[in-house]
A and B are shown apart, each in its own frame.
Chain A
């Protein structure tokens, strides 16, 4: 009796296999692009061949990667996603999307709506990397494969690896983009992705590859403008939460070129909000090491340190001024005020002007620490 019952239970469990899914029966979208054209949402879905995802060993075909790009259009972002389904042959799954690219038109017009649609539909998670772009999204999606590397190892789908070697712009996940969309005083820097065919050639032909080209400043759901590499120079020391490694090139008096790698930056932003106008003092402690110091004896650590200090201070000041000219709160000062002195923030906020236009740049003080000089020695002074 008991055995019969147990077997019956097991048989009943088989009903769970009615709608079993098999990995090969599903289109796994790896990247999603969202554009906004003439009042309608256009989405691009990037599919990779499974063979492209697995890193291949042994004999490998080189040449064009097998990347397919689907396009949908609709009144809303989910509407556009739905319009892809009829021609998709099998079920399309979005939960494994690793990167979302928003076009500039979308960022300028409909970012909060698009994100709300994507998250509410439960098709996407909060973890994909997000980018903005002013280029054609399909070209971005097809420019991500170098030689026989898996496309999943591209900068678009896995930006962390490049960031470790070259911390040009901090990668951002959609969960943190939310702060720029919904928090009342936060500016979030959204990496701007582009491509270049100047770097790599395959069999003599230029091969476009994606690269980061700057950022968009997203605040309260709207795009406040482009942050160019010059503005990023300063933002890197002050606004970045993480910083792995970035080069700094200096020219000594005798034209000896010195290259440093900056590996750490610890900013202290003091914001005197009660003053009129409110002003900001920035103190940064920067850790570096020397990667190149010419061959002349001219280069000594003390000289390099002083020069680096001057240059970084100038970069921070220049970035702030450039961003302020575009009303971009590059160093996220408004958030600091909002969190520490709500009353004053409300007061300044009620003036109705862009916050950053009210702020003056005070002092900037950079302390540079050269922790080592790599393989060769360098004189202390």
Chain B
């Protein structure tokens, strides 16, 4: 990887489409449906308001940060101790992100395709792949994304289109059957996925220049669409009451996809989509954890990555059952995710403001 150009902005957007997309497109959907049922799609639309605010904050912050690595930048602006806390908090955050993505993925494989294969086997193989990606670095991850994503997108359109025969858009109404409170709670969950746009701040140091306003808005619109697509799909295909009790609504949409008399099942394609997303997401999280502490690739960095990986495998297999996991996610983790990212973005934003008051215009 010597002397190769930096990842393009398009590759950066594609990386985030996989990293953040899998949350918005898959992980968050059962939570949204459970909380807001038929109104879930309104929650997503209402989430545009906090999301727009968020984009504003991120844009402002990134215009000040440029392509500097975040930990360094925070240290410059706020000092050593806040920076240390920032590094700890984000390491923990991305560790949990990787952990839960890994768990959800291996559990999904266990429930759907590999009931006789032990969790540990799928977990080791998946983590080995993610570790290789993380060791190769962000550049490799962005290139891999650019290769994986096109087919993921094509398959997404495929499943949306062949399922048209099962769709009845009347099922989107009536709205607010159970009042406003489920809708507003749903907004929080929609934000939990959308706010992950903030991951872009960690990708910027690898680019020549940060995404500009237009590119950021394009990415935001894509993430928004990624949430709305399978969500409305689940509502109009299954009806909201059925969809709300499904564990993997996005995958159930694959299970009904088929065409003609002889090709009645095509759900195996979803494995490609799901694994592309979670593989890139976990690698991404690993790289950010390493970035928090050790910048250059070195023996130390490799040791850190390997240890995190080794820790994640048993954590994903032996800590919780899926029943506990989904309770935990829907009750605590998704809301906490939204609050945490909002808080961190405010911190970064505040730091960006401090600069102007303290040091004037000096670069």
Contacts and interface: CB of A to CB of B under 8 A. Distances in A.
A342 interface: yes
A367 B275 CA distance: 55
A152 B256 CA distance: 19
A353 interface: no
A182 B239 contact: yes
A158 B261 CA distance: 8
Contact of A179 (B111, B116, B239, B265): B239
A175 B238 contact: yes
A126 B255 contact: yes
B196 interface: no
Nearest to A336: B170
A127 B258 contact: yes
A178 interface: yes
B264 A127 contact: yes
A339 B170 CA distance: 8
Contact of B174 (A96, A122, A179, A342): A342
Contacts of B265: 95, 125
A339 B174 contact: yes
A339 B261 contact: no
Interface in A327-375: 335, 338-340, 342
A338 B240 CA distance: 15
B252 interface: yes
Contact of A182 (B111, B116, B242): B242
B219 to A, nearest CB: 33
Interface string A12-42: 0000000100000000000000000000000
Contacts of B239: 178-179, 182-183
A164 B112 CA distance: 35
B174 to A, nearest CB: 4
B174 A175 contact: no
Given A158-B261, A179-B239, A342 B255 contact: no
A297 to B, nearest CB: 46
A125 B256 contact: yes
A229 B152 CA distance: 47
Contacts of B170: 335, 339
A176 B177 contact: no
B357 to A, nearest CB: 52
A173 B264 CA distance: 13
A92 to B, nearest CB: 15
Interface string B146-169: 000000000000000000001010
A52 to B, nearest CB: 16
Report, as a range, how many residues of chain A touch the other chain: 20 to 34
B238 A338 contact: no
Nearest to B258: A127
A183 B241 contact: yes
A178 B238 contact: yes
A340 B174 CA distance: 7
Contacts of A96: 264
B176 to A, nearest CB: 8
B252 A126 contact: yes
A179 B242 CA distance: 9
Contacts of A183: 171, 239, 241
Nearest to A127: B256
B241 A182 contact: yes
A19 B118 CA distance: 13
Contacts of A176: 166, 168
Contacts of A127: 255-256, 258, 264
A19 to B, nearest CB: 6
Interface in B161-197: 166, 168, 170-171, 173-174, 176-177
A173 B258 CA distance: 13
Nearest to B247: A120
Interface string B231-249: 0000001110110000000
A269 B323 CA distance: 45
Interface in A167-188: 173, 175-176, 178-179, 182-183
Contacts of A19: 116
A230 B44 CA distance: 46
Nearest to A338: B174
Contacts of B116: 19
Contacts of A125: 255-256, 265
B111 A126 contact: no
Contact of B237 (A122, A175, A338, A340): A175
B264 A339 contact: no
Contacts of A335: 170
Contact of B256 (A175, A179, A338): A175
A182 B37 CA distance: 12
A58 B239 CA distance: 47
A95 B264 CA distance: 10
B173 A339 contact: yes
Contacts of B171: 179, 183
A109 B291 CA distance: 61
A175 B177 contact: no
B166 A175 contact: yes
Contacts of A340: 173-174
A175 B249 CA distance: 13
9 contacts: A96-B264, A125-B265, A127-B255, A182-B239, A182-B241, A182-B242, A183-B239, A335-B170, A339-B173
Given A175-B256, A182-B242, A338-B174, 5 more contacts: A95-B265, A96-B264, A127-B258, A179-B171, A182-B241
A-B pairs with lowest CB-CB distance, top 3: A182-B241, A342-B174, A339-B173
Interface of A: 19, 95-96, 122, 125-127, 152, 158, 173, 175-176, 178-179, 182-183, 335, 338-340, 342
